[in-house]
Amino acid sequence: MEIIKNEEKKQNIFVNLFMSPEVGILIPLIILCVITTIANPMFLTVNNFSVILIYATFMGVIAIGQSVVIMSGEIDLSVGLNACFSGIVFGYFTAILQMHPVISILAGILAGALIGCLNGYLVSKFGLVNFVTTLATMFLCWGLAVTISGGRPVMPFPTYYLHFAMAKPFNLSWGFFIMLAIFIIMEIVIRYTTIGRKVKAVGGNKEAALMAGVNVMKVKWCAYILSGSLAAVGGILAAISMNAAAPDFGPGIEFRTITACAVGGISFAGGSGTILGVGIGILFVNILSNCLQLLRVEVNWQLVIIGFALVLSVILDNLKKEIQSRNV
């Protein structure tokens, strides 16, 4: 009997380890890296991985905010064009009004936070459908970005922004380390603080959270404000890196952030997931794109494969829930 129990424990440990999003996504990620390295040895180089990490910066910051919204049981389709709009606001204050960097950055973040505040207010206060609400604010951001910029890149920026963008500490970028700092802070907040527990409680079971005394409306509202603010940070970092605020930056990023969250184990039902998983999901999406480019896969097929990865992630999430429910 003891031998059987020990075998069952070993099986449970293996299943739990495999079902962990942080471990589960590493397996296909390693396989993908090995296949690409065999096909193109240029993949496994320091310079290539530096490019991957630098490119992941903007989407990574935005995806962290998106993950918190999804954990709370909602979704934010406006993050990509919110990043565009906030970048344009930052660029306008920088290039046109020639304001101090602190004022320009705060203006950009405030613009993104206001869009997030609007999303949160409409969804949590009036109970509007998150998909429709954030789709509407997505087009609102796009219209504002084009109107403010006149449909042209807002430039030039002062030279100190160029120096910041060109700096390569440890062959990376300052933007990457800003993303890393946000990543660490949010991982601690979500995993170890009351705030993180409230976010997951609201996403997991809104009624139970209400009975436990959690202000559900406030939690969802704050999640959207955070998402909008981090979208703005991503947009500002992108504008600095390009030395211009482009009105065509942002479309499609929202779906890539959603894919990164799904791949990283954030359940669309809400209530579960980690920022660490999101980080691995961000790496997976960007490494996948890099691998497909090195393998010379056509752009259209790249989109098909990324879409397939999203569908597969949702299927695996449902499968994981079924296995967990059977083990209970």
State the SS3 of the chain: CHHHHHHHHHHHHHHHHHHCHHHHCHHHHHHHHHHHHHHCHHHCCHHHHHHHHHHHHHHHHHHHHHHHHHHCCCCCCCHHHHHHHHHHHHHHHHHHCCCCHHHHHHHHHHHHHHHHHHHHHHHHHCCCCHHHHHHHHHHHHHHHHHHHHCCCCECCCCHHHHHHHHCCHHHCCHHHHHHHHHHHHHHHHHHHCHHHHHHHHHHHCHHHHHHCCCCHHHHHHHHHHHHHHHHHHHHHHHHHHHCCECCCCCCCHHHHHHHHHHHCCCCCCCCCCCHHHHHHHHHHHHHHHHHHHHCCCCHHHHHHHHHHHHHHHHHHHHHHHHHHHHHC
Mean pLDDT along residues 63-88: 96
- Identify the weakest region by mean pLDDT among 85-99, 183-197, 272-286, 295-309: 295-309
Cβ(83)–Cβ(58) under 8 Å? yes
Q: Please state, in angstroms and as integers, the Cα–Cα distance from residue 62 to each residue in 12, 78, 93, 267, following that order.
A: 35, 11, 22, 17
% of the chain with per-residue pLDDT over 90: 57
Residue with tokens 């160029």: 162
State whether the Cα torsion 285-291-294-299 is positive or negative.
negative
Q: What is the dihedral of CA 34, 38, 40, 46, to 10 degrees?
A: 50
| 184/189 Cα distance (integer angstroms) | 9
The reported pLDDT for the residue numbered 14 is 52
Of the pLDDT bands very low, low, confident and very high (cuts 50, 70, 90), residue 96 is very high
Single-letter residue type at 171:
N
- Identify the weakest region by mean pLDDT among 61-65, 118-122, 176-180, 281-285: 281-285
| 111/232 Cα distance (integer angstroms) | 7
Cβ(176)–Cβ(57) under 8 Å? yes
Residue 57 has pLDDT above 90, yes or no: yes
The reported pLDDT for the residue numbered 325 is 62
Of the pLDDT bands very low, low, confident and very high (cuts 50, 70, 90), residue 13 is low
Cβ(271)–Cβ(278) under 8 Å? no
Mean pLDDT along residues 66-87: 96
